[in-house]
Amino acid sequence: MEIKGWVKIYYCEERRSMGVKPDKVIDARGSFCPGPLIKLIKAVKESEVGEIISVYSTDSGSKKDIPLWVEKSGHELIGIFDRGDYIEFIVRKLK
């Protein structure tokens, strides 16, 4: 794990050992800001407390926008994973 500011960056090997399996996957690859964030917000509103949502994004703005929104809205950012050609964000709905 690497710490960048207050955001934890987990690498693939660590995620596998975490055993995280998302309930929903949002493929926002190719969407531009604020598309991935808007799709995440919609998915969180439609999800039950405790559900895990994974977002795939190629938009560089998501690296800042998604973690900030998750913290501000009171949910849990489980991790951010660099998948090479996209970034995967994993979020747990807490309320």
Give the residue numbers annotated as catalytic, written as ranges.
33
C-beta of residue 81 within 8 angstroms of C-beta of residue 88:
yes
CA dihedral 39, 57, 91, 48 (to 10 degrees): 30
Paired sense of beta strands 87-92 and 76-82, if any = antiparallel
